[in-house]
Homo-oligomer: A and B are copies of this chain.
Amino acid sequence: MPTSASSSPPPAAPSAAGAVSATPPALEPVQARFIELFVAAAEALGVPRSLGEIYGVLYASPRPLSFQDIVDRLALSKGSVSQGLRTLRSLGAIRAAGLPDDRREYFEPETELRTLVGGLLRDRISPHLEHGRQRLDRVGAEISAGKGLSRAEAAVLRARVQKLENWRRKGAALLPVLTRVLS
C-alpha cells in the first residue's frame, strides 16, 4: 500500500478555504494557501480554476504526487484531474517525474517562470501573430476593393491596417525577448 492512507479517517470538517478541502489526506493549511494563490492567478490569466488548484497542490507538495494523490487532496473528479493534468503538461507547466519503483506516474511543477509564461504565450498569443500577416494583407486588399468607401475613408483604414501590422511585428519581436528576460 502506498504512502497515503486509504481508509477513511473521521471526515474532517470542511476546512477554512472554500473549495480547497478534501477528505482523506487533509491539506495542511499552508498548502491550502498555496492553492488559493494559484487559483487567483488562474483567474487572472483566464484559465479554469481547476488548473490553478492542480498546479497549486503540486507546487505545495515537497514531493511529486500521483494522479490519485491529487484526486484525494482536491475536491475534484477524476475527469477534471485527468484533463487538467493533460492541459498543464501541454502548457509545460508540470512535468512527469517517474518515481521508479511503481507503475504510476508522478507529477511535479515546473518552477521556471520562463517556462510557464512561455507556455501560455505560445499557446494563446503566438498563433495569432503567426497567421496575422496574411490576414492583414487580405484586409488591405479588401479596402481597395471596397465599394462603399470614399477615397479619404479608405486612406484612414489603410493607415489602421498598417498600424495593426506594426503591432503584430512588435509583438512577434517581443515574445522571444520576453521569455529570455525571464531568466
Contact = CB atoms under 8 A, between A and B. Distances in A.
Given A62-B152, A111-B163, A182-B170, A157 B41 contact: no
Interface in A37-84: 37, 40-41, 44-46, 59-60, 62
Interface size class of A (residues with CB under 8 A): 35 or more
A23 B34 CA distance: 51
A19 interface: no
A164 B163 CA distance: 37
B30 A157 contact: yes
B139 A33 contact: yes
Contacts of A40: 128
Nearest to A156: B62
A29 interface: yes
Interface string A143-181: 100111100110011001001101100100010001001
